[in-house]
Chain A
Amino acid sequence: QPVLTQPPSASGTPGQRVTVSCSGGGSNLGVNNVNWYQQLPGTAPKLLIYGDNKRPSGVPDRFSGSKSGTSASLAVSGLLPEDEADYYCAAWDDSLNSVLFGGGTKLTVL
């Protein structure tokens, strides 16, 4: 069963650079774009990165995405307290004909 795997937690201090990984397989990240979502407590997810590495209008350039093969990463530089949130990767899976979400990573700003 295809899955997207994320670490459950990550942390950093203000000003640091933190990365969140997303590991998939040949039927999802290997052939389709990865998108990243930020979810603040009690709110709907917000599109943060699309098409592997593009930022929607209004998303600060402190957020960046990359992908290589079947792995992707979200980087947050110049960490701010308001970046404390849950982050999810997502991709279409060709074998399931379905969207897959990663399990989410809770980012804590220490």
Chain B
Amino acid sequence: QVQLQQSGPGLVKPSGTLSLNCTVSGASIISNNWWSWVRQTPGKGLEWIGEVYHRGTTNYNPSLRGRATVSVDTSKSQFSLNLASVTAADTAVYYCARDRAGGTSSDFDHWGQGILVSVSS
């Protein structure tokens, strides 16, 4: 079955860059799906960060003001998130997810396990 396995550090220093990976198994990352990152601040709701298609096309949440970069490495069946210039407000559980319906939808049928990333010195 489709599995998304997340990896990356749980602690990042203020002004640093948060970097996370999501490895896809049970399905090809080279497909009509898009691959997204979503975060959830403690006790709060969900916020979409951005998405990537296997050819490298991306879309981002404009509220992140250009700090997010989502990329894909098809040879590793992996996609990644870099979030620059982090502050305490970026402390959240970060999820990767598959959007099965395409780049202009919100149909996330498979999710990673989530990683809590804390921003602290």
Contacts and interface: CB of A to CB of B under 8 A. Distances in A.
Nearest to B48: A99
Interface residues of B, number: 23
Contacts of B113: 44
A35 B48 CA distance: 14
B69 to A, nearest CB: 16
A51 B45 contact: no
Interface residues of A, number: 25
Contacts, number: 70
Contacts of A37: 46, 108
B46 A47 contact: no
B112 interface: yes
A74 to B, nearest CB: 14
Interface string B109-121: 1011110000000
A103 interface: yes
Contacts of B106: 32-33, 35, 90-92, 99-101
Interface of A: 32-33, 35, 37, 44-47, 50-51, 56, 88, 90-92, 94, 96-104
